[in-house]
Amino acid sequence: MTRYYVTDLDGTLLRSDATVSDYTIRVLNEALEESAVVSYATARSYRSSFNVTSEIHWRYPVVLYNGALIFDPIDRRVLGGHWLDSSITNDIIGMGRSLALTPFLFALDDDDQERVLHEKLSRYGDTAFCASRPGDPRFREVQQLVCPSSYRTLNITYIGLREELEPLFRTISDHYGPNVHMHFMLDRYIDNHYFLEISHPLANKEHGLALWCGHVGCRPEDVTVFGDNLNDIGLFKRAGRRLAVTDAPPELKQMATGIIGSNNDDAVARIIDEEVKEEHV
């Protein structure tokens, strides 16, 4: 019987310092060699996720940008996804500008290449975020941020203090309602800063998992998912087996079919290791 696993990265597969242990690397590579279907669903881009998990030999499609993009890590090509058009993107950029906030714009260009456009950085959260990705060729500073009509928006990301972002969250929510999807969460790596991410209404892990299942040839109820945060609720809505790490919020634990250990104790890898070995006893 083929086993299907999809794990979140930050706070779930990755340790708190955004690294993967040698044990997890070995277990996942062995599982992939033993024909288990193992992949991930993350808010990160491909480049960012590959940078922290490159020693794992991913061979199945991955879910990126919280479900906005399905990507083939072998051929390095876009398989599908859901994106905002440029007119909505520019309207939301204008809403932020009225509150003295400008975002990072993550988008695909005409050649399916990821681009990150931004204005000159001066705010602490923005500079810290950019500094965490040194030499990333996707990032490009522009004098005034505008989404080109040919670009497909993966997400619009604002970084700031909660009190700075809440008015923008309310403004976008009042104007667009269910016509956009928003994540508003505390960042794990920048002290006291939040991420407000806006994307297509279907650009979430629930629909991302459905697309992923179509590519690998299984049903959502066949999949075991692992998560730690509110942006994993979509995975937990769809999957047949839902495992939350021990410090996940109550909302996610209530949806879980089981609670496992901590990301710092390699809880995801331990489950996969045990189950793959059982298959070959």
pTM over 0.95: no
Query: How do residues 155-179 score in pLDDT, each as one tens digit?
Result: 999 999 999 999 999 999 999 999 9
**Predicted local distance difference test score (pLDDT) of residue 279:** 73
The model's pLDDT over 210-232, given as tens digits with 9 standing for 90+, comes to 999 999 999 999 999 999 999 99
Averaged pLDDT for residues 187-203: 93
Q: How far apart are CA 259 and CA 252, in angstroms?
A: 10
Query: What is the overall mean pLDDT for the chain?
Result: 95
Sketch out the chain's domains with CATH numbers.
4-79+203-279 (3.40.50.1000), 86-199 (3.30.1240.10)
> pLDDT, tens digit, for every residue of 15-36?
999 999 999 999 999 999 998 9
pLDDT, tens digit (0-9, with 9 covering 90-100), for 86-127: 999 999 999 999 999 999 999 999 999 999 999 999 999 999
Distance of CA 116 to the CA centre of its chain: 15
Residue 281 has pLDDT above 60, yes or no: no
- pLDDT category, 278, cuts 50, 70, 90? confident
